[in-house]
Amino acid sequence: MKKIWMVLLIAVAAMAQQETKAEKPPKEVVQKLFILKYADPGQIRQLLQVFDASVSQSGELHALTVKASPEAMRAIEEAIQKLDVPSATPKDVEMTVFLLVATDSAAAAAGTIPKDIDSVVAQLKNTFPFKNYGLLDVITFRTRTGQTVRATSSGGSLPMGNKPVSIITQLSINSIALQGDGSTLRVERLNAQIRVPSITESRGGDVKYQYIDLQMQSDLDIKDGQKVVVGRLSLTHDQALFLVMMGKVL
């Protein structure tokens, strides 16, 4: 009799477990359609295999249909957003570097400021106490995204007594990349080395000078057509150099 009761208890327990499993709600699944702008649907589908999801593609519609849990779907949405970006095909870009000198004297120590950067100089005047700004040099070069850039110029000069003395500017850029929005240029490891003459002795119109080496390094983002102040270098107590860069996607 005792054995019969044991068998009945085991049977009841098994039935209770089956009923509990049957009552457990099904796992929530959501479905979403992704229309891709740039990426290949087949390649994206392969990459999404790391997720617990069902993914089907339509090459004609350039789309993916995804079924997954809400948590997995959120991760998939973030992945697609990062992957569906413009092609990394190299783009032609034009970069222009303006070398400006700011001074406390009443007269500018360099050439006339181009109209292209009038707005930048106006901002500098509102930020720094210098009275005058002048253009020392302009360096323009064309390159392609992903390439290393090297440029040298000796077109700028500063007056040393009765004569102008050249400024030597060397620029190097590790790479320029076009960001996912298609209009922002990421400049990696800009390095500007500038050799500037500095007066060591002055007697009337005769002066003695020596070169001092200035350096500026920076990473920066430039919107297409935007002018960005890269940085400032001190020359003397009443003079400073400003580096302004502008980029264009061609």
Q: Which domains does the chain have, with CATH numbers?
A: 2-83 (3.30.1370.120), 92-249 (no CATH)
Q: 118 is written with which tokens?
A: 């009038």
Q: For 212-226, what is each residue's pLDDT tens digit?
A: 999 999 999 999 999
Closest-CA residue to 241 (of 163, 160, 165, 128)? 128
Neighbouring-strand partners of residue 137: 99
Q: Is 108 a residue whose pLDDT tops 70?
A: no
pLDDT at 8: 42
**CA 194 to CA 154: how far, in whole Å?**
10
**Count of residues making up the chain:** 250
Confidence of residue 115 (pLDDT cuts 50, 70, 90): very high
Neighbouring-strand partners of residue 212: 196
- Contacts of residue 184, Cβ cutoff 8 Å, sequence gap at least 6: 178, 221, 222, 223, 224
Q: For 4-47, what is each residue's pLDDT tens digit?
A: 445 444 544 555 566 555 555 677 999 999 998 878 888 888 88
Q: For 60-103, what is each residue's pLDDT tens digit?
A: 788 999 999 999 999 999 999 888 877 657 889 999 999 999 99
pLDDT at 15: 59
Q: Is residue 246 a contact partner of residue 227, using CB atoms and an 8 Å limit?
A: yes
Residue type, 33: L
**CA 194 to CA 136: how far, in whole Å?**
12
Q: 230 is written with which tokens?
A: 């890269």
Q: For 154-198, what is each residue's pLDDT tens digit?
A: 988 888 888 889 999 999 999 898 887 788 999 999 999 999 998
pLDDT at 9: 45
**CA 44 to CA 136: how far, in whole Å?**
50
Q: Is residue 216 a contact partner of residue 180, using CB atoms and an 8 Å limit?
A: no
What's the Cα-to-Cα distance from 47 to each of 76, 131, 213, 242, rounded to whole Å? Answer: 10, 58, 50, 46
| pTM across the whole model | 0.66
Q: 225 is written with which tokens?
A: 């057509």
Confidence of residue 203 (pLDDT cuts 50, 70, 90): confident
Burial readout 38-52 (b: 16 or more C-beta within 10 A, e: otherwise): ebebeebeeebeebe
**CA 102 to CA 133: how far, in whole Å?**
4
